[in-house]
């Protein structure tokens, strides 16, 4: 009966594999979380800058885009240009007003929900 005694030379490589595998697993999770947080923060910052810039330019404009379009349409053909401008203005107003009317309609009936 011989009892085998494990030496430090046999135990250390197995422990080092376990330590490296654990460290790699934790480090990869931390790097993934850091990557996700940084890309989300960059995306939020970029969208905020674009939204604020576009809003500021629209707010500070002396005339709207439709006014420039009206000048172009009327310069091409006065009667058809004016009529096309009015229909375009009406269509844009309807496209922006429809979701607002729908939201108001649904909001007015939320009191009926149980």
pLDDT tens column, 25-77:
888 999 999 999 999 999 999 999 999 988 888 778 777 777 878 888 888 88
Q: What's the CA gap between 64 and 51, in Å, rounded?
A: 17
Q: What is the model's pTM?
A: 0.42
Q: What span, in angstroms and rounded, lies between the C-alpha atoms of 38 and 31?
A: 10
């Amino acid at each position: 009966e011989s009892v085998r005694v494990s030496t430090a030379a046999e135990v250390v490589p197995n422990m080092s594999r376990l330590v490296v595998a654990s460290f790699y697993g934790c480090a990869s999770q931390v790097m993934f979380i850091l990557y996700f947080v940084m890309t989300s923060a960059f995306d939020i910052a970029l969208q905020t800058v674009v939204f604020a810039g576009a809003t500021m330019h629209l707010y500070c404009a002396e005339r709207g885009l439709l006014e420039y379009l009206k000048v172009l349409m009327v310069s091409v053909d006065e009667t058809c240009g004016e009529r096309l401008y009015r229909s375009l203005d009406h269509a844009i107003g309807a496209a922006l007003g429809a979701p607002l009317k729908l939201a108001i309609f649904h909001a007015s009936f939320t009191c009926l929900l149980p």
